[in-house]
Every structure is written in structure tokens, then in C-alpha cells.
Amino acid sequence: MKTVNLEQSVGLVETRTVSIPLPPGGLKLENGGVLPELTVAYESYGTLNAERDNAVFICHALTGDAHVAGYHTKEDTAPGWWNDMIGPGKGLDTNLYHVICANILGGCKGTTGPSSINPETRRAYGEDFPSITIGDIVHVHYLFLQQLGINRLHAVIGGSFGGMQVLEWSIRYPEVPKNCICIASAASLSAQALAFDIVGREVITNDPGWVGGNYYGTGQLPRNGLAAARMLGHITYLSPEIMTTKFGRKKKAHAAEDRFSTRFEVESYLQYQGEKFVERFDPNSYLHITHAMDSYDLVETYGELKTAFKDVKARFMVVALSSDWLFPPEQSLEIASAFVQIGKPVSYCLLKAPYGHDAFLVDIEHMSQVICTFLGGCATPNPAMPVVKRDDYDLIANLIEPGSRVLDLGCGNGDLLSLLATNRNTTGMGVDIDLHNLIAALEKKLDIFQDDIDEDLSMIPDQSYDYVILSQTLQVVRRPREVLHEMLRIAREGIVSFPNFANWHNRIKLGVTGRMPKTEALPFEWYNTPNIHMATWTDFLNLCRQDNIKVKKIIPLAESPISRLLVRSGLRNLGAERILVNIARP
Amino acid sequence: MKTVNLEQSVGLVETRTVSIPLPPGGLKLENGGVLPELTVAYESYGTLNAERDNAVFICHALTGDAHVAGYHTKEDTAPGWWNDMIGPGKGLDTNLYHVICANILGGCKGTTGPSSINPETRRAYGEDFPSITIGDIVHVHYLFLQQLGINRLHAVIGGSFGGMQVLEWSIRYPEVPKNCICIASAASLSAQALAFDIVGREVITNDPGWVGGNYYGTGQLPRNGLAAARMLGHITYLSPEIMTTKFGRKKKAHAAEDRFSTRFEVESYLQYQGEKFVERFDPNSYLHITHAMDSYDLVETYGELKTAFKDVKARFMVVALSSDWLFPPEQSLEIASAFVQIGKPVSYCLLKAPYGHDAFLVDIEHMSQVICTFLGGCATPNPAMPVVKRDDYDLIANLIEPGSRVLDLGCGNGDLLSLLATNRNTTGMGVDIDLHNLIAALEKKLDIFQDDIDEDLSMIPDQSYDYVILSQTLQVVRRPREVLHEMLRIAREGIVSFPNFANWHNRIKLGVTGRMPKTEALPFEWYNTPNIHMATWTDFLNLCRQDNIKVKKIIPLAESPISRLLVRSGLRNLGAERILVNIARP
């Protein structure tokens, strides 16, 4: 928790409400219900520009609300829930963007929900509140933005349940968001996550205080049930590692221990979270919203994710959190892969975030950098990376047909892709494991997939690119043969460059001095080299012959005078320091 | 579920009860309570031998009972809970062992618990049942075995909560068990596991039907609370992967969907598990037993695990399950590491078990093999491995002082350790990543740690061995330099053997033909070789010089006539096909 520092935030803000005009008959909901009236609560910061196209809409998570940044009063003990992300000079810079967040339909923070007054009965809806879906939630926010006169969004951003809304925005209103950022989310909950929600609802509806949902004004409340559901929720928001770090088996010195309660700090923490939640949240809202989340399933609705996303127009960024087990990275990867599979622009980022699912709220340093770079609006941009143009880049460029689609495996900071885009008018994507490379590539407006090319390239469909490039990377992968075959599954042609172990210098080093070669092309010691699969010119050609890989062109790269002389004399396996090969399907 | 097949089981069995004579004043419990009477329910199979030393005691898990194998009636729909493990010719062979399992103190299956009649009030104990610990549970079983006249156990075995009892047995009664097998367990619950139990007890005690524990005979029962706690438990028993495989987001075709329940199969499954549990288990037992489990903490009691285990006499086997997240493998590793740290015999096995924590009940094929091999009582032993004696084994043996303690990293099937034990009278342990090697080494009565030597050897204390051997393994590790330093941290001396990349054959292959060498010592292709860090005689010596590693002896190994000739001529870096080095601290 920070102390109130208005300068570093959007300052004092307030939640406003707006009544949304509805057609006669009210708002029809996806599951058949109807709402006669609709109010939306929201906050906004920063200035909407004259073109009305700099708005960024934040989709809040399950139990969040519109108060996303700043303070409600000078005495506030805590700012809005994403205050570290949003403000002047922050990841979402309010000097550039008009940031808006609105409470969701079914919530209890000002937007119409089960605790709102039903105009037909003049009492709280209670059990009469109709079933809602994420489609309804997004639809209401769409109507709300229309009401504000905002028809285009620079971006829609959300984490967790908010990420599901981002997906829905991109599908349902493809013309509205220019960019979408979906963080720590999924196209549907996993069986395990469903199971936790099921138990959570079970304990609320089992609580006699729930009275079928009609506890408003009765003095009753499913207090214990809601608190227990929240305790359970909080377990799933943290990684086991952070629970161990934060609590371990530490005990409260002065806590009372009755028969079955313990003195463990984790018990006090959970109970505190449960009690705090009861004070601020409506049990019926919790039931409705979790039910909407559980029911959301793009695969069920569209058959497959590729179909769901087929009309999406937004540039997409999918962010996964490494230690999130409620919305595990594989689910984010599925979303990003679906975009790759239909050839739509997407970047995928897997942040190291030890905190678990809650990291999207707390571990935001790198997330903030990724988001602002992706949106092209970093107030304090990274220092431009020095462009280290490798000598083989021009040669590679010469092998590429102009206008091609190119996949660069191990793309580094994106220099080559950038050069190709400029000089050969290519489009395409990079794959790299490193976060800093990802950010550098995003700065160049490239699409980049943060992934280990050794692990799995199966998300990239057959023949989806014209060229796959593997520049100075073959020798560091664990399964080079498999990677070569994957390249030619993905594209008609591949371009591979690697150090030639049979260069004369290496031969002399080993042959005469009896030591492992160490050269400019192989600058490491035997015990710390990342180069774990060395090959020679001849070896590579033999493998190509054996595996029926066509070699369209093979270019020896040589810098030292002797190497160059040997190459010129036709002794290419002896002269080449590195080798550039254009391979193709037979 | 199998159909009743009495031939493949211990047949028809019954649960018997025995009253345990107590000293005047009753049974004093660790937390201060007293029980005036004590009854223990148990089952046993197989015959106790004349020496009374072939008994195997099974410690059951949280909600298990004494009915561990066989059938109670011919019409039984299900056998005892570990029927696949126990019986004639099975992992725990009842032709060899007298297998005993007894219900735990505090349970509700015949051993004294909260639902038992309190002789002082002639009513069920209810809220008067005293607080119990795992120490009390094991103490009661000790008294019970004394009563049966059994003073020595061939083994104590248990999984999960039962594994904690195994630890307690080994510490509290070190003279009793000859062997201990602790499966999918921990020396204390993690913060996350505690948290789940805390929520589970919360929902039971919040249920108005609990009436403070005095629901017996009132017609009340915390039915909903107990069911919800069990639903929650079942989530933690399965891996997320198996939940996806088993249920995913499949829906029941004919299930009713009311407002907040769903048609997901996972919901029906959990509800069924909850309801079934309410029929068979007593809520107060659940509260007492989970509380005893949560409170168990060997580190809190003894300061550190090494101290806890210092007087243990049993041979130990620790088995972890790869996808278990309730008792994650790291916790088993901690237990096994503590034994290693105090130089006590231990084997550690990490089974690939996709099922999650419940795998210890269902995925038992390999577990059964590991257990029976460790106990030396496989009814159908593995075919003896052919002894492939490597030519360097004798040379290694000659470098080892008789009677030394030896650690063999990458020990394979244990042949070398076995040879050293026979010829040089050594003791020690092997480390290997492969399960089949583990089983082969267990067959040779070796202690073996299933681990990746590249990952972490920190569990092995400084100077805890006389020699560390790394035979033909240096070239396949990712960080060879670090492994060498770890060797000399662990022992005064190390013995390393590796292929010499500077052998004349390799030099000619690369130097003349320009191809990556492929020889008897290096039999792989460049693209599929596991040999990722090749060194030469000179390279290795240079690293030793640079890192201040003393080379006590270096032996060139050569087989081909030319290699032998070169070695004899003193051209060792040219002649050696492989190299054997005895390194030591400076």
C-alpha cells in the first residue's frame, strides 16, 4: 500500500453514474431475461481528444469496480485497484489516453445488479434478477460508451474475468477496439477453476442467511457462506510459492486457538479477506458474476477459437503470468495460438510473475512496460537499442521475395524482421524466449511470440508463412533436426545460418593443438557454450540429403583473409566460418 | 473398479476390534487430553511367521480405514482401498508378509473417536472428544501392535496423511520398523494445503447442523458443510490435467440447471463425492483428523528435519508423485534430503503420475514395483539386468580406497556401485534420473536418489562422501564446470571419465573429411547427440588449472591399436579415446 500521493496519480476522482436509455421493452439479455432500466457507474481520467479516438477502456475483474485509479478523498487509505498502472507517465499514460472503467452488469458498485431496485416492484431484485452472461456485460458497456459518444477505442484491456470481456469485445464489436490486451485470462475456465467456483456458490447458497437470494432488507445475509467462498477464492489467487513466502507455517503470537481453528497466519489472512469481502460485496452479485464466468466458453459457442476470432480486427496482445494456476499460461497460449492459426496479428508474452493470478494487480513493472510499448504510448520510452546489423542480414534479405510472410525463429530484438519489413516489404512474426527482446520487438511494432522454439511450434499452422528464418540459432536448439522439419512444415522455404565447425581455424585448433575450438563464430569455452549441436557444411548437406530437404542455395560466410581465400578457391567447408542455407521442401 | 475376484485378492476379510488395556488414569494425549478407554479396529492378511518379523503395517490416509484389501462379502461392489497393492503375488505380497492396517484414533471406523461412547457420560463424545495429534495416532497403533505381540515390523508404509504417520513411526519407535516407505507426503503441510483445510473446517463449523459438535442423536448433522468440505478436498486430490481429461467442460445431458448450479459434469462429480462422504464419515472425525494433520510439523517440533530423523534406524524410501500439488514432490524431496544430509540410508523416487495426489491410490503399477523391490520381496522379480561391465569400472575401483563412502552421479543401474561395494567394501548412494535404473539399483540393495544431477545437488552436504564419481556423464550435463565444483564440495576427491574429443580419429574426421566425429566413444549424429559439452584432454586439464582443481591421476583409455600406440608413445591427447581423471581439492 502506498500513502496518498496525489501527484503520482490521477488525483481525486469520483465514480459517476449514467442512466442508459433502453428500447421499449427494456434490455434483452442473452439467457432470455429482460431488464427494464439500466444504470452504469464509471470513472474516467485523462482527456478525450478531439478525434475521440484516444479512449482506453478497462474491463475490471470479478469483484473489481470502476474505481481503477486515483483517490476518492484525500483521506483514502488506498487508491483505485490499478493505480500503479494508470496515471500521468505510467504504463497507461493519462497524458495520452482517456482511460475509462465502468462497473459491470450484475455487480454491486453502481451498475444495475441484483441489489438494485427493480422498478416494477420497487424492491431490490433479489431472486428476480435475471441470469447474465459476459456477452450482456460487454453489451452494456458498449451501450454505455455509445451514450458517452465514444465509438472507437484505442484499446480494451482487462485481466482475468476482465480478459474474457476483452475477448468478447473483440468478437462482438470488432470495429470498436483498435488494440486488445488480454491478461491472465482464458477463452473458458478450466475444469479445476470451475470446480472452485462450484464449491464457492455451494457454500453461499447453503448458508441459511441467503434465503434464496431475498435477504435484502431482512437483516439476514449469507455472511459465513460469502466469507468462506472468498477465502477459497483467495487461495486460488496466490501461487503456492508466494503463500509459502508470505505465510508459510508462521503463527500469530496472540491469536486465540479454539478447538478447530489454528493460530496460522494464513488462517487470519483468509478470515480477514473473507470478512472484508462481506462488507463490500453483495452475495447475489458474486453468484451471478461467477456463474456468468463459468458459462463463458468460446469453443462451445463458436466450435473452435479460430472461428470465434475470425472477424476480429484489433491488434491483439495476450499476456500470461508464469505462476498463475487459476488461469494458467497454457490457456493464454491457446488464445494467442488461435490468432496465429488464422494469420491475425498477435503478440504473446509470458511474464515471470511469482505472485500467482493476483500478479496482474501487483507484479506490474514488466507488464506495464509491455502494455505501454504494445500500445505505442510509453511516456518514458526505452532507450533505443543499438542496431547491431549482422552481416548476414543483407544476404538473408536478398533471399526473400518482396511482400512475403516471414516467421523469424529466435528473432532477438527484431532487427532482421524490421529490416525485412522496410527493405522487402514483408509481414510476419518473431518468436523469442526473452522478455527484453519481446519489448524491443514491440517497440518496432512487430508481432512477437514469447516462446521456446525448442518446446513446440505446433501452434503455427502448416504452410502459414512463405519463409521461416533460423538465424544463428540451429546450434543452440536441443533438437535441430526436428526444428528444421518444423520450418518446412510451416513454410515452403527456410533460411538457416549457423557456425561451420569444419572451418580451417577449428580444424587446426582441434587437429594441431588438441583443444576445443574457440573463435569469433564460436566464442565460448567448452564448459559454458550454449552451442550444443555443432555441424559442418558437409554434415548439414548430408542431413538435408538424408531427410529429403532441398538446398536451394548455400552461402559460405567468411571474414578472415584465409577463410575468404579458401572459399574463393572452392574449399567452402574449409573456408566458411558460418553458413547461410536456403532450404525448401523437395 | 474391478468385479469381485477373490482369487486375485486376499479374499473375504473382516474388520476386527480389539480393546487396548490402558494404565490407570487412561491414555494421556499429547495436547493434554485423556481417554479412559481405547478400542482399535483392524484387518490383517497373510501369515505372521514364527519369528514374528514379517508384519507390514499400513498407515491409512485422512478418511481411509482398516479395510485395505479383499472383500467384506461376496456381494461387495468394491474391495479394500489398496487392493491392487496388497494380495498374493502383488506389490505387498501376502504370501510373504503379514499385512496389518488399523483405523486411526479420532476416526469413525471402529477405533475410538468423537462418535464413540464416552464411558463417563454413556453418550457419544461429541464436543468432549479431546484434541489429538499424529503422535497420539501412532502411539495408539504402537500399543495395538504390542497387544498383538508384534514388536518388530518388516515395514511401515503409508501415503499422504499416512506418510506423516510413517515419519512419526520412524522417529518415535526407531526399533520397530526395519523399513519405512513414505509416499506423497510431507513433514508438514504447505501454507496452501493448510489454507484448504482451514476453509474446509470453516464450512463444517459454520453449518448450523454441527451444533458445536453435539449433533449425535439429535437428528441434526452438518451435512452441507461436510459435503462442501469434501468437494473442496476432491479438487485438491486431482491434478488440473486429470480434471481436464476426466471432466473438462463436459455437461450432463439430463441434469437440471437451476439458477446457480450448472450442468457441468465436474459439478455432479463433486456433489456425488460430497454426498457419498456424508454417508460414510463423521464430521467431528474430519475436524479432529484434519486439525491433527495441520498441526503436524517436524521442523517446529525438532528445529530441523535433520534433528527429527537423527535417531531413525529404518531404511527409508520416499516416493513423490509428479503431478501431486497437495503434497508436492519438493516436500518429499525435503524429507529424503534430510536423510542424505545426516548420512542415513534413503532412496528417493519421483514417479510420473498424471493423476495428482490420488495417484497413490490409483496409479500404482510402478509404485508397486518400487515398493516390492525396495522391500526385497518381489514375488515376480524383474529379470536380472545383464551386467555390462564397462572397462573403466576396474580402473575406477583401483582409485578408490577400500571402505570409502562413494556417491555415483549418473549411476545407471548401479553396476559400478555394486562392484565397488563387493570389491572395495564401499558404502554410498547413486543418483540417476531414470526410473528403471532406480528399480535396477534397488534390486541390488543400493540407496538411490532419483534426481537430475544438472538441477541441484545442494541436498548433499559438504564433505559428506570420500569420492564422487561422474562416469561418462560430464559431457551430457548442461553445466559441467558447476558439476565438477559440486563434486569437490561433496567429497575430497572426484573421479571423472569422459570421451576425449581430441582423439586422433576425431581430429582426422573433422580435419580431413570436414565432418563431425562419430566413433565408438561418440556414437551419435551431430543433430541427436546427448553429448552437448565435449572436451579434450588438454581442455580438461586447463580448466582444472584455471579453477584450482588438483589432478591426482589422469588415465588415457584406448582400445584401437593406433590409439594404444599413440598413448604408449606419450601422445595421450591424441591417443586417448576416453579419459579417466582422479581430481581432488587443492
- Domain with residue A163: its CATH number is 3.40.50.1820
User: What are B351's strand-pairing partners?
Assistant: B321
Query: How many of the other CB atoms lie within 10 Å of CB of B291?
Result: 22
- Asked if A395 contacts A580 with a C-beta cutoff of 8 angstroms, the reply is yes
Q: Of the candidates B205, B162, B208, B168, which has an alpha carbon nearest to the alpha carbon of residue B185? A: B162
- Asked if A267 contacts A261 with a C-beta cutoff of 8 angstroms, the reply is yes
Over range A34-41, report the average pLDDT.
98
Give Cβ neighbours of residue A481 (< 8 Å, ≥ 6 apart). Answer: A543, A547, B527, B528
Condensed to tens digits (0 to 9), the pLDDT of residues A79-107 reads 999 999 999 999 999 999 999 999 999 99
B505: three-class secondary structure by DSSP: helix
Is the Cβ of A260 closer than 8 Å to some Cβ of chain B? Answer: yes
- One domain, residues B220 and B312: yes
Tell whether B382 is covered by a domain.
no
- One domain, residues B342 and B222: yes
Tell me the one-letter amino acid at B130. Answer: P
Nine cell digits for residue A293: 464466468
Condensed to tens digits (0 to 9), the pLDDT of residues A464-505 reads 999 999 999 999 999 999 999 999 999 999 999 999 999 999
C-alpha torsion angle, residues A451, A457, A459, A464 (rounded to 10):
120
* Cα of A157 to nearest chain B Cα, Å: 26
B388: three-class secondary structure by DSSP: coil
- One domain, residues B419 and B306: no
Over range B78-105, report the average pLDDT.
95
Task: Identify the sign of the CA torsion B81, B87, B92, B94.
Answer: positive
Size of interface A-B (CB pairs under 8 A): 232
- One domain, residues A399 and A349: no
Cβ–Cβ gap B526/A535 under 8 Å: yes
- One domain, residues B287 and B321: yes
- In which band, very low, low, confident or very high, does the pLDDT at A461 lie, cut at 50, 70 and 90? very high
Tell whether B64 is covered by a domain.
yes
pLDDT of residue B379: 46
Q: Return the residue in A31, A198, A486 with the most chain B beta carbons within 10 A, the one to mutate for interface testing.
A: A198
Domain boundary among A320, A346, A374: A374
- Contact residues, B window 442-471, toward A, CB-based 8 Å cutoff: none
DSSP H helices in B160-261? 161-172, 191-206, 223-237, 240-246
Give Cβ neighbours of residue A413 (< 8 Å, ≥ 6 apart). Answer: A385, A436, A437, A440, A441, A444
pLDDT of residue A381: 46
- Contact residues, A window 543-572, toward B, CB-based 8 Å cutoff: 543
Tell whether B410 is covered by a domain.
yes
What distance, in Å, lies between the first and last C-alpha atoms of chain A? 62
Domain boundary among A374, A404, A435: A374
- Candidate from A391-395, B14-18, B284-288, B556-560 with smallest mean pLDDT: A391-395
Q: Of the candidates A108, A115, A284, A134, which has an alpha carbon nearest to the alpha carbon of residue A201? A: A284
Whole-number Å distance between alpha carbons of A236 and B196: 10
Report chain B residues whose CB lies below 8 A from the CB of A502.
510, 514-515
Condensed to tens digits (0 to 9), the pLDDT of residues A435-457 reads 999 999 999 999 999 999 988 89
Is the Cβ of A12 closer than 8 Å to some Cβ of chain B? Answer: no
pLDDT of residue A388: 53
DSSP string, A536-549: -HHHHHHHHHHTT-
Report chain A residues whose CB lies below 8 A from the CB of B325.
240
- Using the predicted structure, report yes or no on whether residue B513 has a pLDDT greater than 80: yes
- In which band, very low, low, confident or very high, does the pLDDT at A521 lie, cut at 50, 70 and 90? confident
Condensed to tens digits (0 to 9), the pLDDT of residues B288-347 reads 999 999 999 999 999 999 999 999 999 999 999 999 999 999 999 999 999 999 999 999
Is the Cβ of B4 closer than 8 Å to some Cβ of chain A? Answer: no
Query: How many structural domains are present in chain B?
Result: 2
pLDDT of residue B6: 66
- In which band, very low, low, confident or very high, does the pLDDT at B257 lie, cut at 50, 70 and 90? low
Domain that holds residue B491: 391-584
Cβ–Cβ gap A529/B533 under 8 Å: yes
Question: Residue B495: which H helix or E strand, with range?
Answer: strand B491-499
* Cα of A522 to nearest chain B Cα, Å: 13
Nine cell digits for residue B357: 495426489
Q: Return the residue in B289, B527, B545 with the most chain A beta carbons within 10 A, the one to mutate for interface testing.
A: B527
Between B459 and B209, the higher pLDDT residue = B209
Cβ–Cβ gap B516/A537 under 8 Å: no
Over range A6-28, report the average pLDDT.
93
- Residue entry with cell 543401474: B413
Is the Cβ of A231 closer than 8 Å to some Cβ of chain B? Answer: yes
- One domain, residues A367 and A482: no
Q: What are residue A92's phi and psi, to 5 degrees?
A: -105, 100
A160 is catalytic: yes
Cβ–Cβ gap A244/B325 under 8 Å: no
- Asked if A361 contacts A81 with a C-beta cutoff of 8 angstroms, the reply is yes
pLDDT of residue B521: 85
- One domain, residues A423 and A549: yes
User: What are A408's strand-pairing partners?
Assistant: A430, A469
* Cα of A56 to nearest chain B Cα, Å: 33
- Asked if B33 contacts B131 with a C-beta cutoff of 8 angstroms, the reply is yes
Q: What are residue B137's phi and psi, to 5 degrees?
A: -60, -45
- In which band, very low, low, confident or very high, does the pLDDT at A5 lie, cut at 50, 70 and 90? low
Condensed to tens digits (0 to 9), the pLDDT of residues A287-311 reads 999 999 999 999 999 999 999 999 9
pLDDT of residue B5: 63
- One domain, residues B261 and B406: no
- Using the predicted structure, report yes or no on whether residue B384 has a pLDDT greater than 60: no
pLDDT of residue B3: 47
pLDDT of residue B507: 95
pLDDT of residue B256: 65
Tell whether B385 is covered by a domain.
no
Between B236 and A255, the higher pLDDT residue = B236
- Which of A231, A526, A527 lies closest to B199 in CB terms? A231
Task: Identify the sign of the CA torsion B552, B557, B561, B562.
Answer: negative
- Which of B244, B260, B525 lies closest to A201 in CB terms? B260
- One domain, residues A132 and A95: yes
Q: Scanning every residue of chain A, which has its alpha carbon at the shortest distance from the alpha carbon of B189?
A: A249
C-alpha neighbours within 13 Å on the C-beta side of residue A72:
13
Tell whether A196 is covered by a domain.
yes
Whole-number Å distance between alpha carbons of A27 and B46: 72
- One domain, residues B301 and B406: no
Report chain A residues whose CB lies below 8 A from the CB of B481.
527-528
A317: three-class secondary structure by DSSP: strand
User: What are B555's strand-pairing partners?
Assistant: B580
Is the Cβ of B196 closer than 8 Å to some Cβ of chain A? Answer: yes
- Domain with residue B444: its CATH number is 3.40.50.150
Cβ–Cβ gap A243/B325 under 8 Å: no
Cβ–Cβ gap A246/B191 under 8 Å: yes
Tell whether A412 is covered by a domain.
yes
Report chain B residues whose CB lies below 8 A from the CB of A194.
249, 262, 264, 266-267
- Contact residues, B window 74-93, toward A, CB-based 8 Å cutoff: none
Nine cell digits for residue A240: 503456492
The overall average pLDDT reported for chain B is 94
Q: Scanning every residue of chain A, which has its alpha carbon at the shortest distance from the alpha carbon of B484?
A: A527
Report chain B residues whose CB lies below 8 A from the CB of A131.
259
Over range A53-73, report the average pLDDT.
97
Domain boundary among A374, A402, A431: A374
B63 Ramachandran zone, left/alpha/beta (phi>0; psi -120 to 50): alpha
pLDDT of residue B2: 42
Please write down the HEC assignment for all residues of B310-364. CCCCCEEEEEEECCCCCCCHHHHHHHHHHHHHCCCCEEEEEECCCCCCCHHHHCC
pLDDT of residue A360: 83
Is the Cβ of B289 closer than 8 Å to some Cβ of chain A? Answer: no
- One domain, residues A431 and A326: no
- In which band, very low, low, confident or very high, does the pLDDT at A255 lie, cut at 50, 70 and 90? low
Task: Identify the sign of the CA torsion A491, A426, A374, A439.
Answer: positive
* Cα of A475 to nearest chain B Cα, Å: 9
* Cα of B223 to nearest chain A Cα, Å: 10
Share of chain A above pLDDT 70, in %: 96
pLDDT of residue A379: 46
- Which of A190, A246, A295 lies closest to B244 in CB terms? A190
Tell whether B386 is covered by a domain.
no
Tell whether A385 is covered by a domain.
no
pLDDT of residue A364: 75
Over range A305-328, report the average pLDDT.
97
- Which of B194, B231, B248 lies closest to A199 in CB terms? B231
Report chain B residues whose CB lies below 8 A from the CB of A267.
194-195, 198
- One domain, residues A346 and A405: no
Over range A46-67, report the average pLDDT.
97
- Which of B188, B266, B287 lies closest to A249 in CB terms? B188
- Using the predicted structure, report yes or no on whether residue A175 has a pLDDT greater than 90: yes
pLDDT of residue B380: 46
Report chain A residues whose CB lies below 8 A from the CB of B231.
195, 198-199, 202
- Contact residues, A window 104-163, toward B, CB-based 8 Å cutoff: 127, 131
pLDDT of residue B320: 97
pLDDT of residue B96: 95
- Candidate from A351-365, A549-563, B192-206, B436-450 with smallest mean pLDDT: A351-365
Is the Cβ of A342 closer than 8 Å to some Cβ of chain B? Answer: no
Cβ–Cβ gap B194/A300 under 8 Å: no
Task: Identify the sign of the CA torsion B299, B304, B307, B309.
Answer: positive
DSSP H helices in B356-501? 359-362, 365-375, 391-399, 415-424, 435-443, 480-490
Is the Cβ of A327 closer than 8 Å to some Cβ of chain B? Answer: no
- Using the predicted structure, report yes or no on whether residue B390 has a pLDDT greater than 80: no
CA angle B222, B226, B231 (to 5 degrees): 150
- Which of A297, A507, A532 lies closest to B249 in CB terms? A297
DSSP H helices in A223-282? 223-237, 240-246, 265-280
Whole-number Å distance between alpha carbons of B271 and B144: 37
